[in-house]
Amino acid sequence: MIEASEIENRGAAQQNPLPAPLAPLERLAWNYWWSWAADGAGIFRDLDPEIWQECENNARQLLAKTSAYRLAEAATDPVYLERVRRLDESFQSYMTSGSGWTIDDLKITHEHPVAYFCAEFGIHNSLPLYSGGLGILAGDHLKSASDLRLPLIAVGLLYRYGYFRQRLRNDGWQEEHYGETFPNDLPITQIKNADGTPMRIEVSIRERNVLAQVWRADVGTVQLYLLDTNIPENVETDRWVTGHLYGGDRETRIVQEMLLGIGGVRLLRKLGVTPHVYHLNEGHSAFLTLELAREVIEQQQLKMKDAIPVVRQQCVFTTHTPVAAGNDEFDSALVVRAFGKEYLQQLGLTEEEFLALGRVDANNKAERYGLTPLAIRMSRSTNGVSLKHGEVSRALWQKLWPDKKLEEIPIMHITNGVHAPTWVSPLLRYLFEKYIGADWEKKLREQDVWKEAVLRISDEELWIAHSLLKERLIAFVRHRTTHSRLAAGEKADYIEAAKTMFDHEALTIGFARRVAGYKRWNLLLSDQQRLLRLINNEERPVQFVFAGKAHPQDEGSKLVLKQLAQWKYDPAVRHRAVFLEDYDQEIARQLVQSVDVWLNVPRRPMEASGTSGEKVAINGGLNLSILDGWWLEGYDGNNGFAIGNGTDATEVAAIDALDAESLYRTIEQDVVPIFYNRDSSGLPRQWIAMMKRAIQTLAPEYNSNRMVEDYVRRIYS
């Protein structure tokens, strides 16, 4: 592992030197551990709340931009200093203790860690290297690996422009823009060679040597390495290899994937790491298996067919896509051109033999080159991300095992989970600490502990905490909306109206997810009169918070957003429905911690797992969802609401109509009455009982500690 050879790029953005008593903040800012530590975000925010918001919660920038006077003030505030001291103390003890909580697996060690590859990582919104669910899941995987002290090293790409930022025009049409990410603004460290020169990784792509520099982000005890081709030694085209996340054409995509897979393995070699196992999280990194084969062939003078079993022994693959069309595929000519003749020679393969590795049917020359067949073929284990998705994946890829029966297809599943300390609200965390203990995070998997502890939380206490969070959400909605209306140049009275929108007594439903066909935003809009009746009911109103991005090329989904905007000026609706622009981890956090109900209406069985509803459950919110993905496993009849009867879609229009009817009926007949049914003290007792049941049954199961432990026991070992 590297230590001495790394030199920091720290301080590049530093303007005002930190007063000595604040020195721990510097250390804390450079490890994303603060983002899930109790009071971590609070300590940075309180240094200067305005700058904190301006720099999108980037701790390094906050320290660089805070005025010398404000720093001096903080450095002489004993209460603040005590908070800093306590946080720093827990950080030091977190980083050095491994006691009692270690996953004992002698084969996975610091010398032979898990190498976790992914095209995106959603660690925190100040590190914009993710687009959605896959990235957030990868981020949560790293955080739990750290919490569990699992030796794991992660490899990804540092995108200069990340994923697009969303803005809606006045008429509701989505526009995309990109913010440039400057490494010197981020809490990441450039990796250097022993002689102090910046480390370079070299991969031949399109018959040209492409160089990448290397950065490291620290996520607790886990190190996330990021390759970046934006360096002067590269020709202009190659500097753009790591330009955008999922931004370019097919060629950019394959070139990125070569860098991630091949470059990633070469990076590990330079760092002196020999992984116990390579985890391909989704097919984007599948080319790493070819690089491992190339090494084996070179070192052991083997033929490809004998190298494959050696590679397979070391690789495990997680698929996240429930539809054939969602899998990464390329034209044969493009693949051959990108790899170049030399790489094929090194593998000892003809073009046809090389291409056959990515085809379901090796002999079918018309078939495109798929990363999922490649990854499945080259890995000793393949898994889906929920029970249902395992089933769907077996059916989808049965064709790779023509002589096996469906139930014999070796694709298993591990259901996704979320990182509880990242997603839990400060108030619920406080309740967990009070009723489970300061070590509640270590007891995340213990069903009995949760069951018993949650029973002891009084209805009043839980309801008051939830109500306060809802007030915070409403303040957030008003604040965000005021700003976006100002920025959009809306009329003064409309801007003013944002300051009084939403009612903290009203049933609040959150619907935030990608705007994509199968997520069926149109379901909720399918009967507009019925929807408006819910919203406008004076006694028992329902209010909605929406957020989500449409793919830039998906005109249909952009039209859905535009349709939603038709009500934005309607005086009857505008107080109770809002769309928040630019859905990201921060908006997600605000919503999942505070809404009463989290709505999800995917077309079955397209939601491989979904994780946002799991974040809500940990906070005592109730899911109202189609029985698909994780909710098919999590729903027990009393811990939330189910929509539809659980049949798979065959005739799309018919199923959509049935599900829409079920959605409205469930809101009208179950959700609204239970929420508004109060006892003499004003509490919705049945609702609170459901909240408690959600926490009891779902928190100990759908968290990423459980997920990572499952990976260790059932797949990595």
Query: Can you give the binding site for ligand PLP, defined by CB under 6 A?
Result: 132-133, 136, 513, 583-585, 588, 610-612, 615
Q: Choose among 400, 314, 417: nearest CA to 362.
A: 400
User: Taking the complex as a whole, how short is the minimal distance between the CB of residue 583 and ligand PLP, in angstroms?
Assistant: 6
Alpha-carbon distance 281 to 268, whole Å?
A: 17
- Helix, strand, coil content of the chain in percent (nearest 5): 50, 15, 35
Smaller CB separation from ligand PLP, 289 or 484: 484
Smaller CB separation from ligand PLP, 230 or 416: 416
User: Taking the complex as a whole, how short is the minimal distance between the CB of residue 96 and ligand PLP, in angstroms?
Assistant: 30
User: Do 224 and 260 meet the contact criterion of CB atoms below 8 Å apart?
Assistant: no
Smaller CB separation from ligand PLP, 254 or 588: 588
User: Do 278 and 314 meet the contact criterion of CB atoms below 8 Å apart?
Assistant: yes
User: Taking the complex as a whole, how short is the minimal distance between the CB of residue 363 and ligand PLP, in angstroms?
Assistant: 38
* Burial category of 77 from C-beta neighbours within 10 Å (exposed 0-12, middle 13-18, buried 19 and up): middle
Q: How far is residue 365 from each of residues 360, 399, 654, measured CA to CA in Å?
A: 11, 16, 38
* Burial category of 433 from C-beta neighbours within 10 Å (exposed 0-12, middle 13-18, buried 19 and up): middle
User: Taking the complex as a whole, how short is the minimal distance between the CB of residue 650 and ligand PLP, in angstroms?
Assistant: 24
User: Do 46 and 205 meet the contact criterion of CB atoms below 8 Å apart?
Assistant: no
HSE-CB of 601 using CA atoms within 13 angstroms? 28
Smaller CB separation from ligand PLP, 349 or 547: 547
Q: Choose among 207, 249, 206, 205: nearest CA to 227.
A: 205
Helix axes of 426-435 and 447-456: crossing angle, nearest 10 degrees: 100
User: Taking the complex as a whole, how short is the minimal distance between the CB of residue 499 and ligand PLP, in angstroms?
Assistant: 26
Alpha helices in 156-247 (DSSP H): 236-239
User: Do 620 and 689 meet the contact criterion of CB atoms below 8 Å apart?
Assistant: no
Alpha-carbon distance 137 to 610, whole Å?
A: 9
Smaller CB separation from ligand PLP, 166 or 256: 166
Smaller CB separation from ligand PLP, 308 or 608: 608
User: Taking the complex as a whole, how short is the minimal distance between the CB of residue 319 and ligand PLP, in angstroms?
Assistant: 16
With b for 16 or more beta-carbon neighbours within 10 A and e for fewer, the 279-307 pattern comes to bbbbbbbbbbbbbbbbbbbeeeebebeeb
User: Taking the complex as a whole, how short is the minimal distance between the CB of residue 30 and ligand PLP, in angstroms?
Assistant: 23
Alpha-carbon distance 684 to 470, whole Å?
A: 15
Smaller CB separation from ligand PLP, 132 or 283: 132
As given in the structure block, the two tokens for residue 650 are: 């065959």
Smaller CB separation from ligand PLP, 136 or 280: 136
Phi, psi of 144 (to 5 degrees): -70, -35
User: Taking the complex as a whole, how short is the minimal distance between the CB of residue 122 and ligand PLP, in angstroms?
Assistant: 7
User: Taking the complex as a whole, how short is the minimal distance between the CB of residue 511 and ligand PLP, in angstroms?
Assistant: 10
Smaller CB separation from ligand PLP, 188 or 512: 512
Smaller CB separation from ligand PLP, 189 or 611: 611
User: Taking the complex as a whole, how short is the minimal distance between the CB of residue 392 and ligand PLP, in angstroms?
Assistant: 16
